[in-house]
A = this chain, B = another copy of it.
């Protein structure tokens, strides 16, 4: 029976000058997390690692104040695997959520999801398996669990940029092996978005696709015209056109415009996704759901969301999670989801663990145990000082 003996967190500055239609990132932070077990291998404790999704700031304070102490003080039998060695993150989830009231799915969901991600990394290492394989074995259904359709998310607004810069950015992603791309929209006026989209499309070749992300930037008065203005471009989807909780407005837009739509990165719970499915008017045959696994209470809640959606006719292929980076790649592969967002230009999160290969828009995940933070060029440098004895 493994015991969790320490939890270490660091707030990492991930600020940049980029903008979307909703916010700037000039003061952005994220949390790097290490969960230490009492299992020793080669003289070192086996640890689980996790790194925040970007966009909603660090979660270390909640890890320290609420969820971490609950895990550290719990009897290990409360989170032990029922039928094998190590820990069961599904059982640890209930320990972390003790005495948490219903509703209010904000920062708390990200703190629990971050700890959950580290627990899965830890357990995969204890079982000597890559996370994608452990997930596929436990929750079967993925036909190619080590392969993930990825898209390159970029095209942020930058001061003084020319359309050529956007074209160059997408060409650089193509050189890395990407076939699918997403750029920002809704953060500029006067036809600038159209110019940007046309510049991006000019870089694409046959079979490649472009989506745009409004980051909740449209209002009820402007949304129809803004979406109508993109009708002729054959976009893969338009993402989060309006406030994530304005289900009625989304349903109206869904009814009026034919393009595939996509939303959910700012819904952080089963209860919120249930409302999206009930009231948001989405169409399971053409739309996508972007709930961020790591910001939404982690895999246990995500499995409940997939089950609920399945009852409403949604295939796992319609789920294309926001962010979550390396961890989410494994979940997308292991559970057979539709694809995953990546940020190839991000100075810290760009790239994949050593042993991954990207070609024709498809990433092949490596066989090393766990998630692979230790084999990622940027993130290994974040964790290395946290792992020193």
Contacts and interface: CB of A to CB of B under 8 A. Distances in A.
Interface stretch (A36-44, A147-155, A269-277, A367-375): A269-277
A285 interface: no
A384 interface: no
Interface stretch (A52-60, A79-87, A338-346): A52-60
Contacts of A109: 104, 106
Contact of A103 (B62, B99, B103, B244): B244
Given A57-B65, A61-B65, A106-B107, A248 B101 contact: no
Interface in A264-291: 266-269, 271-272, 274-275, 278-279
A24 interface: yes
Interface in A165-185: none
Interface residues of A, number: 47
B102 A22 contact: yes
B103 A268 contact: yes
A65 B12 CA distance: 12
Given A246-B274, A268-B104, A272-B245, A99 B23 contact: yes
Contacts of A103: 216, 243-245, 266-268
Contacts of A29: 65
Given A61-B62, A66-B57, A104 B106 contact: yes
A17 to B, nearest CB: 12
Given A23-B101, A27-B99, A56-B101, A107 B271 contact: no
Query: Which of A25, A26, A29, A246 is the most central at the interface, judged by chain B CB atoms within 10 Å of its CB?
Result: A246
16 contacts: A22-B101, A26-B99, A27-B99, A29-B65, A58-B65, A62-B107, A102-B245, A103-B245, A104-B295, A106-B106, A106-B109, A107-B108, A244-B271, A246-B271, A275-B275, A278-B279
List the number of copies, as a whole number: 2
- The majority secondary structure among interface residues of chain A is loop
A161 interface: no
A98 to B, nearest CB: 8
By CB atoms of chain B within 10 A, which of A25, A62, A216, A245 has the most?
Answer: A245
Contacts of A102: 22, 215-216, 243-245, 266
A61 B248 CA distance: 34
A94 to B, nearest CB: 13
Contacts of A108: 106-107
Nearest to A73: B27
A10 interface: no
Contacts of A23: 99-101
A28 B66 CA distance: 10
